[in-house]
Structure 1
């Protein structure tokens, strides 16, 4: 999150850099993604991104169970962030999307 705010862009986490794209999830995929890939990690943040603003840099590709996931083949730009903040969950354990101010 600090890099996104400081630099206005985020090139990705180590797994993103290794795979060559920033892994994104839809709202419906988010909780499963966090639970599978970030279990037990603290200080996580969620960014709601306007994927359309990234144009053709976003490719919808099959992944887990054949679901289509948005993959961003460019740095994520702060100007395309609709909202961002610390990861929180509702009473059922579902990850909440951040609320824009």
Structure 2
């Protein structure tokens, strides 16, 4: 019994593309908020159109990454819980990170 397999070359090409994308993703040292929290992500999961808007409308003055890091975690979690579909900042970061990886891998 014989059968013909088609599409193997396309599959091999796609797997090679995924491998290359994974290698590039692995080299990533840092990701900007703009790359991580896309406007699409913010529209879908928050009451804001951008991360910049979320920070601007927060009760905190943030002019640098140092200012952002100085916000007490428990207070920021309350803000995140109030204005997003997430229960914590960590949950929001995790989801954004997963979405970023999926985009970079090419899915």
Shorter-chain TM band = under 0.3
Structure showing the higher strand proportion among its residues = 1
More helix by share: 2
Q: Which has the larger radius of gyration?
A: 2
Point out which structure has higher relative CO (alpha carbons under 8 A, 6+ apart): 1
Q: TM-score, normalised by structure 1?
A: 0.24
